[in-house]
Amino acid sequence: MTHILLIEDEPLISAFVAKGLKAAGFGCSVEATGESGLYVARTSVVDLIVLDVGLPDISGFDLLERLRGEGVTIPVIILTARSSAQDTVAGLVSGADDYMSKPFSFDELLARIRLRLRGARADTPSTLSHGDITLNLLTRRVTIDGREDDLSAREFALLETFLRHPDQVLSREQLLSTVWGFDFDPGSNIVDVYVRYLRRKIGADRLKTVRNMGYRLVGLS
């Protein structure tokens, strides 16, 4: 599932945008401060960031400059009440991919998000593979050692996340944010439940538990 990080301190706006994104089929997490947004952008699986400028702790421009300075290339759309040409230029110079002024149309924001995601994934292949596991992103079927199997929507999103980060330990919190979009309590065991489901289809030896940390997908040849 494509995951969008919304960094916005106005509760009404963040709730409105997050609800719309989830209805459109995206995962979405919301952060109300720049520092918490930076932390999530650095530690979670994020496909695109929608960023407010007037945050309570640090400027959205400063946040974006820090991310770009660290080599983070996630597409960023600035969404702000500042609409002057000078602010627009400042946002683009800071490394933004797009700039929208408030008030805004959600349909336009959604169109811009989809456009930026297509641009970021223009060269993305239609399959993901690691070891003897191949996931077809179009048919949403997994092939293990020549055997095909169907996946539920959550199983597909979970396996896609692991395949995009092979051999990397992903915490339960990262998986919950990416696959479920924080729709569930962080203390929920829903991640463990779906890891068990996925193991039944790809094999338990391919999805390792890393004690007190999370899970790691390993390749078997």
Residue 16, H or E segment: helix 11-23
pLDDT of residue 83: 62
Domain boundaries, the chain: 3-120, 127-217
Q: Which two tokens stand for residue 213?
A: 């940390």
Top pLDDT among 71 and 186 is at: 71
Calpha distance 84→90 (Å, rounded): 10
Top pLDDT among 103 and 195 is at: 195
Q: pLDDT (tens digit, 9 = 90+) per residue, 143-181?
A: 998 889 988 878 888 898 899 888 889 988 888 877 776
pLDDT grade, residue 185 (50/70/90)? low
In CATH terms, are 3-120 and 127-217 the same topology?
no
Determine the topology of domain 127-217 in CATH. Answer: Arc Repressor Mutant, subunit A (1.10.10)
Calpha distance 80→102 (Å, rounded): 6
- Give this prediction's pTM: 0.57
User: Omega of the bond prior to 166 within 30 degrees of 0, cis?
Assistant: no
Q: Which two tokens stand for residue 182?
A: 């924080």
Name the percent of the chain lying above pLDDT 70: 87
Top pLDDT among 90 and 143 is at: 143
pLDDT of residue 120: 60
Residues composing the chain: 221
Beta strand 27-31 with 147-150 is unpaired
pLDDT of residue 14: 93
Q: Which residues pair with 100 in a beta bridge?
A: 79
pLDDT grade, residue 186 (50/70/90)? low
Please state the CATH superfamily assignment of the domain spanning residues 3-120 in this structure: Response regulator (3.40.50.2300)
Instruction: Return all residues near 24 (Cβ < 8 A) that are at least 6 apart.
Output: 110
Quick check: 123 pLDDT over 70? no
pLDDT grade, residue 184 (50/70/90)? low
75 phi/psi in degrees, rounded to 5: -60, 140
